[in-house]
Amino acid sequence: MNETNNTPQSNNSAAPARKRTRRPFGNKDKANPNADTRTPATPSAPRARAANPNPRGSSQRPGGGRPQRSGGASARPRGRGPQGNRSEGAGGARPARARGGRRPQQRRSDKAPALTHRLGADEAQNHTQIPDITDEDTVRIITVSGVEEIGRNMNIIETKDDIIVVDAGFQFVSAESNAPGINYILPNTQYLEERKDKIRAMVITHGHLDHIGGLPFIMERIGNPPIYTQNLSSLMILKRQEEFPHMEPFKMNVVKEGEHFTVGKTRIKTFAVTHSIPDAMGVSVETKHGDVTVTGDVKLTHLEGKVDEQEAADWINVGKNNNLALLCDSTNAWQPGFSSPESIVLDTFDELVKNATGRLIIGTFASNFERLFALIASCEKYGKKVVLEGRSMKSNIEIAIQAKLLEVKPGTFIQGNDIKDYPVDKIVILSTGAQGEEFAALMRMSTNQHKFITLNERDTILLSSSVIPGNEISVQILKDNLYRRNVKVVTVQSAAIHSTGHGYAGELTWIRQTVNPKFLIPVHGHHFMLKSHYFTAVENGFPKENIVVPDTGTIIEIRNGTDISVLPMTIPNDQLMVDGFTVGTRQEVVLRDRKSLSEDGMFVVIATVNSKTGKLRKSPDIISRGFVYLRENQQLLSEARVLVKRAIEKSTEGQHPIDLEIAKEEVMNELSRFLMQRTSKNPMVIPVLIGI
């Protein structure tokens, strides 16, 4: 059962969480948590035969790995690609369809089986010993991740007795991650796993996935500590947890901005910040020699550089504390001045909704609540109907109504299949997919694959988001598809329809000067963003010796409130990855095989060998996946069969008994050399020899 507390905490301690009954999930609760749900098991074969006598059986489904080994004379299939010996699995090989068509991708279930947490070989090894904190005059700050990158934000604040974890996000996998088949990349939690009995709280600053997305995957690993966050963030976390019914329930504690609570011996204060999502907050962790303050994602509400009075008052109150260190958002530190106010964007949207003569389709982030609320209000004002497209869009609006952040008049929302019943100038569609996601609603509209919405020349598309680094190609494909529909496309370059949720250099300088910390630690962003924050601070008079620009896993210690240093070692920082329903550190051999398969394919040879004489009983069968089209390369296959026959009979000559393991090695080596010479490609070669 989920434990939640939707009542504001007292100012002294966290109130006891009250229980909430979780909806039953049928027989999924009885699933074996240790079962491998991705790869079907291969039945054991008789001892004298290979694991899979059916040649087509050696092709595995995505994520399935290599053909299985049987006992007896048949040895484990092996292959060699660009990196050498392939003694592990074929990883993510995807069988090609018979006529070269593309296999349709299936939408995943919204309920996951129990996660498998894998302890990799690298994790099991001893890493450099990190000394424990033995005195009360030392505070340790660790940037677990979220620096040197965008995403998977997590920071640790540690004293002699307590550990406070701030945020636990994930990172979507990009081409630069070099991790084919991986779902998400998580913060490495090994340091926390080794000290889980010291963790007092998981504090979440706001509800974006780069701050909450990792929770379902890491909480069990670190002992499921209590979570402290504001109401909307708590609802988003619990909504996401419904997808993982086998997990231990989160111990959720809801706080309000401006309140404080005590965990262990540590007092934590919260304060309101402005971001692109409601209920965003910063936190100040009290230590013996001052507060360690974390802004979370932050910008300022301002008009031409003049900060809103209420917001200024909130920051001034934070500045009244003895602020030892400031961990501050750096995403837009490289941009000078102040960012564009959201109020300008909302005024633009109001005019566009008012003057629309056809359907208005707005692609934006489903978590940009303020913008969605304003659009819905404008639609109600001008008598427009709102259609929500995309699961996350519908889910977040439902959460906002549940949190009483949004009240909607009856009849404002309609379903997609009811669009035809209303005039086109009365329809506004709020859609996910402005980043060009393949299966998002907007992309399906652009490719004419949406069930209810067909674009036409009277439609106007607003792409109300900046392009996230790494998504440039996807967004360009989306724009090309939209223009092929002859619709009008409005982007952030042509109209004021988007503003950032991260403050520019001028805003960050204002915050730092108001908070007045002794030490500054830029976080949240690539290294150039953090270093830009550093330069801006120094240019505005902050002593450079009091700034630490961290890397992933950097351990910073402040002693006696006066001396700051960086330890020579880092915490374990190998990437923690979600691979289907398995969570573990990066497995290079698996990812290397997947990359090899994606580049050069695989070449499987299946041969039946007389176990007494070493002679082939028939011509070998050959399966090619992602390498060459067999029908167009019959000469190559004929030569390959002759080479296989010669290699097997030569390697088994004079052997009593026949050792097919040696024959496999010879076939793999000879065939790899032959295919490289003939095609300049290096496929994964998998010989399957069946001794009879």
Kindly report, residue by residue over 215-244, the tens digit of the pLDDT: 999 999 999 999 999 999 999 999 999 988
- On the question of pLDDT at 412 being above 90, the answer is yes
Cα–Cα distance for residue pair 212/167, rounded to 1 Å: 6
pLDDT band at 335 (very low <50, low <70, confident <90, very high): very high
Residue 33 confidence (pLDDT) = 37
Cα–Cα distance for residue pair 461/477, rounded to 1 Å: 15
Catalytic residue ranges: 329, 502
Give the neighbor-by-neighbor strand order of the sheet with 290-294: 260-263, 266-272, 281-287, 290-294, 323-329, 519-523
Residue 254 confidence (pLDDT) = 96
Name the DSSP class of 299: B
Place of tokens 């996910």: 432
pLDDT band at 586 (very low <50, low <70, confident <90, very high): confident
- On the question of pLDDT at 284 being above 90, the answer is yes
Residue 88 confidence (pLDDT) = 33
Which CATH code, of 3.40.50.2300, 3.40.1030.10, 3.40.50.10710, 2.70.98.10, is assigned to 342-490?
3.40.50.10710
Cα–Cα distance for residue pair 78/589, rounded to 1 Å: 13
With pLDDT > 70 as the criterion, what percentage of the chain qualifies?
82
In the chain, the N- to C-terminal Cα span, in Å, equals 56
Point out the least confidently predicted range of 29-33, 268-272, 315-319, 364-368. Answer: 29-33
Secondary structure of 258-276 as H, E, C letters: CCEEEECCEEEEEEECECC
- On the question of pLDDT at 403 being above 50, the answer is yes
- On the question of pLDDT at 674 being above 50, the answer is yes
Residue 535 confidence (pLDDT) = 97
Average pLDDT over residues 495-513: 93
Quickly count: other Cβ atoms within 10 Å of residue 420's Cβ. 9
- Both tokens of 178, joined, read 């070099």
CB 683 within 8 A of CB 603: yes
Cα–Cα distance for residue pair 426/441, rounded to 1 Å: 20
How far, in whole angstroms, is CA 44 from its chain's centroid?
A: 37
Residue 58: closest CA among 620, 638, 663, 687: 687
The domain limits of the chain are 55-93+601-691, 136-337+501-583, 342-490
CATH assignment, 136-337+501-583: 3.60.15.10
pLDDT band at 457 (very low <50, low <70, confident <90, very high): very high
CB 169 within 8 A of CB 176: no
Please report which residue ranges of 215-257 form alpha helices under DSSP H: 215-218, 231-241
Cα–Cα distance for residue pair 76/85, rounded to 1 Å: 13
Cα–Cα distance for residue pair 379/428, rounded to 1 Å: 7
Cα–Cα distance for residue pair 286/262, rounded to 1 Å: 10
pTM equals 0.76
- On the question of pLDDT at 549 being above 90, the answer is yes
Point out the least confidently predicted range of 258-272, 320-334, 461-475, 520-534. Answer: 461-475
pLDDT band at 114 (very low <50, low <70, confident <90, very high): low
- On the question of pLDDT at 565 being above 60, the answer is yes
CATH architecture, range 55-93+601-691: Roll (3.10)
Residue 179 confidence (pLDDT) = 79
